[in-house]
Amino acid sequence: MTFASVSDSERNVDQEASPKGGPKSKQSPKEPPAAELTSIHLDGEIDENVKIYDTCDDVRRKITGHVKDSTQAAFARELSQMMPHTRINATHVGRFQKMKGPRAGGHNPVFYAAYVYFEKLRIKQGKKKSAKREQMEEHWEEKGGFPREGSHNIYILTKPGQHWTFDAMGKPKMVGQGRPGGG
């Protein structure tokens, strides 16, 4: 049996030392940091009034995919870097990510900031708009984009036996027949 001695630098060329002395793997980022997206300008961005054409659930799904190789705190810092007036922290991101529903979290600053981030990223990568995105534009364009107030302050009168919910595009939808005669 023979043993060969291999130095640390030969063992793994793609690693560098971490501050605590252990190996830390280098990863090439999939998406550019927010600073690289500043050259892309969206209508209404200066006063944080870009029209939104994604639901809160769509934005949450994009965030989940993005923070796999990062942290919510790092993503919050990237979002804050892009926003001229709003500061975002990891608590905002965590609260937004825990919500469920197409309109749940529309009032959270992460919804707007992350939408702007991912829209700029889509443009930078030269990707086309999805079919759902086209439908969202068609429905929400006249209304100034998807609402940012969330679903916590929407009231709809219903008949007994009816209730309402939101469809996949965030539009209120009545469910149930209600009793004849309304009472």
Reported as a single tens digit per residue, the pLDDT across 32-75 is 677 788 889 999 998 899 999 999 999 999 999 988 888 999 99
Please indicate whether residue 31 or residue 143 has the higher confidence score (pLDDT): 143
Angle between helix axes 72-82 and 109-124 (nearest 10 degrees) is: 80
pLDDT at 25: 38
Residue 92: C-alpha distances to residues 86, 112, 148 (Å): 12, 12, 15
pLDDT at 154: 63
Q: Which residues contact 182 (CB under 8 A, 6 or more apart)?
A: 159, 160
pLDDT at 23: 43
At 44, give phi and psi (nearest 5°): 85, 0
Residue 60: C-alpha distances to residues 1, 34, 93 (Å): 55, 18, 9
Instruction: Evaluate if residue 178 carries a pLDDT over 60.
Output: no
Query: Dihedral through CA 77, CA 40, CA 97, CA 134, nearest 10?
Result: 180
Q: Which residues pair with 17 in a beta bridge?
A: 23
Instruction: Evaluate if residue 29 carries a pLDDT over 80.
Output: no
> How many CB atoms are located within 10 Å of the residue 69 CB?
12
The pLDDT mean for the chain works out to 78
| 3 state DSSP class of 97 | helix
pLDDT digits (tens, 9 = 90+) for 99-127: 998 988 999 999 999 999 999 999 999 99
pLDDT at 153: 58
pLDDT at 73: 93
pLDDT at 180: 54
Q: Are 50 and 58 in contact (CB under 8 A)?
A: no
**Which amino acid is residue 46, in one-letter code?**
I
Angle between helix axes 109-124 and 90-98 (nearest 10 degrees) is: 90
pLDDT at 51: 94
Whether this prediction's pTM lies above 0.95 is answered by: no
pLDDT at 173: 72
pLDDT at 50: 93
